[in-house]
């Protein structure tokens, strides 16, 4: 196995302050870095900022600043956020640093020495938002497909990179290294893009000067994407030679570039062809995750729905935010952010499952084993089962993390959390105490405490402060050695006689009043929104009329798309009956199926069943909004039981 691990995030543009999209990639990278550290590898985790290019230049001017002033300001915002989110990077690179610019020039020169750079003229439609040219066929309406703004026609002398030369070599590389672009759907996208034919790439600009000059021709600045991508090796101090210098030879090629799907082509086509030309090894993996929408809508300044991470941390704490982002959506897929969903997970999984487990086990130990870790006796079937579940969680959570399946890793850990809660119910320490079966009582308390230790270690990469608080309550000092995967894989790591230190509850429940106030605080845009059409007035009804309606809290157990429909989803909803009900809902444009699982929706249960696209629906999910992408479901923020009647 590889004994080093090099993980990177994109370097973020400084024309904008950080939002949860940026936080998402960075948290994922931090979890990977922490996990690999705990597995004993030498880890390098790099993040940073992308500060050159026309976009930054324009944004700075608009605010009456020089670009470097704007960059200096915004970089501090990023750093402050990473600090609050407990992001432990090893290096932070800024593209305006000398150490970076030097490497960009070296790389450019090396590619030029290979005969892969020539001078030509470029004319095209340019989007400063993307820092990219488009062809007329790509954009028949002359607008940027991403930013929807009219493109600018630009013509300039430009250096070109012979990207076309590397088409076959790159295809072969992807074929031979199926892990190179992940997930699979992204690999397919990239292979078809390459098969359509790679054209030479314009890699310099003369229309502005905020960038790294082309060596020997300073009228040109190097294309901002080449500048930006080079950060992955400039931060390792690549010295221009094949071996590359100390850090480079130790950590390159990167084990993974974590990115959002928006910048896949730059990482899976431009960057590798550049490296091929330079004769440098390609990164082992480029993993593109999906995009977050907010209550089903695209996150954008004009919709005033950008989720500001500092406010989220103030409201819920850094660990809850870290947990939610990785638990809610399978890495690789798009997902939807909503406060009710976040509150639901804090209450159900963090407060009820995890927080309660710690509190009840430590309380029992205080009462019956003098607040210390007892010496266990012989294990019975019940304990053996707990140990099995514990060891399985250790193994499976690691496997899922190796595959970037963060939500699955958390699910594996939660199997142990739930099992440990069940174990406490079934083993009944209070009865054992009453009956004077002290040896058995000691075994039960020991194994319950030991499962908490295992959970603490496994959770550490995801929620470092929470895990450290858990381990300190168990009387451990959460240092590197305690956190090692090797130790956690051996049941019995807690030493008898260790003094416990009961502390504050991990996650207090968010009670309904607090939930309501949070929803109000975070919903200014919604409050100001006008209904798409004023609803027509309807005749009054009596309370008896309303009582005919069977409205219930429905807990969404699973959800999937209905084939051949982009709008319809098939949900299995628990409404307190023996079996969940199948419900068809037309919300597929606004919500991904995965984002609905675990939510508490409002379901009309006694509507006559109907068939939609051949699928029977036994109930109607309530929602509001103009429809399509802009529909918002009604849901409960509190922890209500499935099937609770609504009145
Ligand atoms: N500067 C370039 C990247 C250069 S890397 C050599 C850039 N910067 S960015 O500030 O726009 O950040 C883009 C990245 O932010 C995405 O790839 C993704 O990691 C993250 N996200 C931005 N918005 C997002 C969502 N709505 N959802 C999830 N992640 C998002 O592009």
Q: Name the pairing type of β-strands 42-50 and 91-94.
A: parallel
Mutate to test the pocket of ligand 1, among 21, 229, 287, 337 (most ligand atoms within 8 A of CB): 21
User: What does the pLDDT look like over 418-447, one tens digit per residue?
Assistant: 999 999 999 999 999 999 999 999 999 999
50 lines ligand 1 (CB under 6 A): yes
287 lines ligand 1 (CB under 6 A): no
- All CATH 3.40.50.620 domain ranges in the chain, comma separated: 4-290
Neighbours of 243 (CB within 10 A): 10
The pair phi, psi for residue 498, each rounded to 5°, is -65, 135
CA of 12 to the centre of ligand 1 (A): 6
Q: Is 395 helix (H, G, I), strand (E, B) or coil?
A: helix
Q: Which residue has the tokens 């984002």?
A: 595
Mutate to test the pocket of ligand 1, among 19, 22, 307 (most ligand atoms within 8 A of CB): 22
The contacts of residue 503 (CB under 8 Å, 6+ apart) are: 469, 472, 473
| Residue 122: predicted pLDDT | 85
Q: Is the pLDDT of residue 524 over 60?
A: no
Give me 104's structure tokens. Answer: 């960009």
CA of 386 to the centre of ligand 1 (A): 42
Question: What is the rounded CA–CA span in Å between residue 24 and residue 5?
Answer: 20
Mutate to test the pocket of ligand 1, among 17, 18, 24, 294 (most ligand atoms within 8 A of CB): 24
Mutate to test the pocket of ligand 1, among 263, 271, 307, 328 (most ligand atoms within 8 A of CB): 263
Which residue's CA lies nearest to atom 13 of ligand 1? 12
Neighbours of 425 (CB within 10 A): 8
| Residue 123: predicted pLDDT | 85
Question: What is the rounded CA–CA span in Å between residue 333 and residue 24?
Answer: 13
Q: How confident is the model at residue 274 (pLDDT cuts 50, 70, 90)?
A: very high
Query: Which numbered atom of ligand 1 lies nearest the CA of 231?
Result: 6
Nearest to 595 by CA among 336, 322, 298: 336
Give me 521's structure tokens. Answer: 């605080």
Cα 50 versus chain centre, distance? 21
The per-residue pLDDT of the chain, averaged, comes to: 93
- For the domain spanning 4-290, the CATH number is 3.40.50.620
Q: Is the pLDDT of residue 593 over 70?
A: yes
User: What does the pLDDT look like over 544-580, one tens digit per residue?
Assistant: 889 899 999 999 888 999 988 888 999 999 999 999 9
CA of 48 to the centre of ligand 1 (A): 12
CA of 360 to the centre of ligand 1 (A): 42
Cα 219 versus chain centre, distance? 41
CA-based Rg of the chain, rounded to a whole angstrom?
A: 28
CA of 78 to the centre of ligand 1 (A): 13
**Mean pLDDT within 641-647:** 91
229 lines ligand 1 (CB under 6 A): yes
25 lines ligand 1 (CB under 6 A): yes
Q: Is the pLDDT of residue 526 over 50?
A: no
Q: Which residue has the tokens 């949070």?
A: 518
- All CATH 2.40.50.140 domain ranges in the chain, comma separated: 543-633
Cα 618 versus chain centre, distance? 34
Cα 411 versus chain centre, distance? 15
- What distance, in Å, lies between the first and last C-alpha atoms of the chain? 59
333 lines ligand 1 (CB under 6 A): no
Which residue's CA lies nearest to atom 22 of ligand 1? 21
Q: How confident is the model at residue 527 (pLDDT cuts 50, 70, 90)?
A: very low
User: What does the pLDDT look like over 42-63, one tens digit per residue?
Assistant: 999 999 999 999 999 999 998 8
Query: Which numbered atom of ligand 1 lies nearest the CA of 261?
Result: 17
Question: What is the rounded CA–CA span in Å between residue 294 and residue 299?
Answer: 6
Long-range interactions of 530-539: CB distance < 8 A, separation 24+: 532/625, 532/626, 532/630, 533/626
Sheet holding 292-294, edge to edge: 297-298, 292-294, 335-337
CA of 300 to the centre of ligand 1 (A): 13
Q: 603 forms bridges with which residues in the sheet?
A: 552, 621
227 lines ligand 1 (CB under 6 A): no
Query: Which numbered atom of ligand 1 lies nearest the CA of 229?
Result: 6
| Residue 486: predicted pLDDT | 85
Which residue's CA lies nearest to atom 6 of ligand 1? 229
Q: Which residue has the tokens 């020169």?
A: 109
User: What does the pLDDT look like over 80-119, one tens digit per residue?
Assistant: 999 999 999 999 999 999 999 999 999 999 999 999 999 9
306 lines ligand 1 (CB under 6 A): no
| Residue 214: predicted pLDDT | 98
228 lines ligand 1 (CB under 6 A): yes
Is the domain 336-488 a CATH 3.40.50.720 member? no
Architecture of the CATH domain 543-633: Beta Barrel (2.40)
Q: 616 forms bridges with which residues in the sheet?
A: 611
The pair phi, psi for residue 429, each rounded to 5°, is -55, -35
Residue 199: its H or E element: none
CA of 324 to the centre of ligand 1 (A): 19
Q: Is the pLDDT of residue 139 over 70?
A: yes
Question: What is the rounded CA–CA span in Å between residue 428 and residue 422?
Answer: 10
Q: Give, in order, the Cα–Cα distances in Å from 214 to each of 51, 111, 221.
A: 17, 12, 5
Return the DSSP state at 142.
S
- The pTM of this model reads 0.81
CA of 150 to the centre of ligand 1 (A): 22
The pair phi, psi for residue 494, each rounded to 5°, is -75, 130
Long-range interactions of 475-478: CB distance < 8 A, separation 24+: 475/372, 475/373, 475/499, 475/500, 475/501
Give me 638's structure tokens. Answer: 């509190």
- All CATH 1.10.730.10 domain ranges in the chain, comma separated: 336-488
Give me 8's structure tokens. Answer: 């990177």
Judged on CB neighbours under 10 Å (0-12, 13-18, 19+), 289 is buried
DSSP 319-385: HHHHHHHHHHS-TTS-EEE-HHHHHHHIIIIIIIIIIHHHHHHHHHHHHHSTTBPPPP----HHHHH
| Residue 470: predicted pLDDT | 96
21 lines ligand 1 (CB under 6 A): yes
Q: Active-site residue numbers? A: 19, 22, 127, 130, 144, 147, 298, 301
Query: Which numbered atom of ligand 1 lies nearest the CA of 292?
Result: 27
Give me 286's structure tokens. Answer: 């480029």
294 lines ligand 1 (CB under 6 A): no
CA of 98 to the centre of ligand 1 (A): 24
């Amino acid at each position: 196995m590889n004994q080093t691990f090099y993980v990177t995030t994109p370097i973020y543009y400084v024309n904008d302050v950080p939002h949860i999209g940026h936080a998402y990639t960075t948290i994922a990278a931090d979890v990977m870095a922490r996990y690999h550290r705990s597995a004993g590898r030498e880890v390098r985790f790099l993040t940073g900022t992308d500060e050159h290019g026309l976009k930054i230049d324009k944004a700075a001017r608009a605010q009456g600043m020089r670009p470097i002033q704007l960059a200096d300001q915004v970089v501090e915002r990023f750093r402050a956020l990473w600090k609050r989110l407990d992001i432990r990077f090893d290096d932070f690179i800024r593209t305006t640093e000398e150490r970076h610019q030097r490497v960009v020039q070296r790389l450019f020169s090396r590619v030029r020495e290979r005969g892969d750079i020539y001078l030509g003229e470029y004319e095209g439609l340019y989007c400063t938002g993307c820092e990219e040219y488009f062809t007329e066929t790509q954009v028949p309406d002359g607008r940027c497909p991403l930013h929807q703004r009219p493109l600018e026609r630009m013509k300039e002398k430009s250096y070109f990179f012979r990207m076309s030369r590397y088409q076959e070599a790159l295809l072969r590389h992807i074929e031979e290294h199926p892990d190179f672009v992940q997930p699979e759907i992204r690999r397919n996208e990239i292979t078809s893009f390459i098969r359509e034919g790679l054209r030479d790439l314009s890699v310099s600009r003369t229309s502005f000067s905020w960038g790294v000059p082309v060596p020997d021709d300073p009228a040109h600045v190097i294309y901002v994407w080449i500048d930006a991508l080079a950060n992955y090796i400039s931060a390792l101090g690549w010295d221009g030679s094949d071996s590359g210098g100390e850090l480079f030879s130790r950590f390159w090629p990167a084990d993974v570039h974590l990115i959002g799907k928006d910048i896949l082509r730059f990482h899976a086509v431009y960057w590798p062809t550049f490296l091929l030309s330079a004769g440098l090894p390609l990164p082992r993996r480029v993993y593109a995750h999906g995009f977050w929408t907010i209550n089903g809508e695209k996150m954008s300044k004009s919709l005033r729905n950008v989720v500001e991470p500092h406010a989220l941390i103030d409201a819920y704490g850094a660990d809850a935010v870290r947990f939610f982002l990785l638990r809610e959506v399978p890495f690789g897929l798009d997902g939807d952010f909503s406060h009710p969903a976040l509150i639901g997970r804090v209450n159900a999984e963090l407060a009820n499952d995890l927080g309660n487990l710690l509190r009840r086990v430590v309380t029992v130990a205080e009462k019956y084993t003098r607040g210390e870790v007892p010496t266990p006796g012989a294990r019975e079937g019940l304990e053996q089962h707990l140990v099995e579940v514990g060891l399985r969680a250790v193994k499976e959570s690691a496997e899922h993390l190796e595959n970037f399946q963060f939500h699955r890793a958390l699910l594996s850990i939660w199997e142990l959390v739930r099992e440990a809660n069940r174990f406490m119910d079934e083993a009944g320490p209070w009865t054992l105490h009453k009956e004077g079966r002290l040896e058995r009582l000691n075994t039960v308390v020991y194994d319950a405490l030991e499962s908490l230790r295992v959970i603490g270690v496994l959770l550490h990469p995801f929620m470092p402060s929470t895990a450290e608080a858990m381990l300190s309550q168990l009387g451990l000092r959460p240092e590197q050695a305690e956190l090692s995967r090797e130790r956690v894989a051996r049941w019995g790591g807690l030493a008898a006689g260790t003094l416990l230190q009961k502390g504050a509850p991990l996650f207090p429940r968010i009670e309904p009043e607090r939930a309501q106030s949070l929803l109000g605080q975070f919903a200014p845009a919604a409050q100001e929104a006008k209904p798409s059409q004023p609803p027509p007035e309807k005749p009054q009804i009596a309370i008896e009329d309303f009582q005919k309606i069977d409205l219930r809290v429905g807990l969404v157990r699973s959800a999937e798309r209905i084939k051949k429909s982009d709008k319809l989803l098939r949900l299995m909803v628990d409404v307190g009956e023996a079996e969940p009900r199948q419900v068809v809902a037309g919300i597929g444009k606004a919500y991904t199926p995965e984002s609905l699982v675990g939510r508490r929706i409002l379901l009309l249960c006694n509507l006559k069943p109907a068939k939609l696209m051949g699928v029977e629906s036994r109930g109607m999910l309530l929602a509001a909004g103009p429809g399509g992408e802009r529909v918002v479901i009604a849901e409960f923020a509190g922890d209500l039981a499935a099937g609770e009647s609504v009145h």
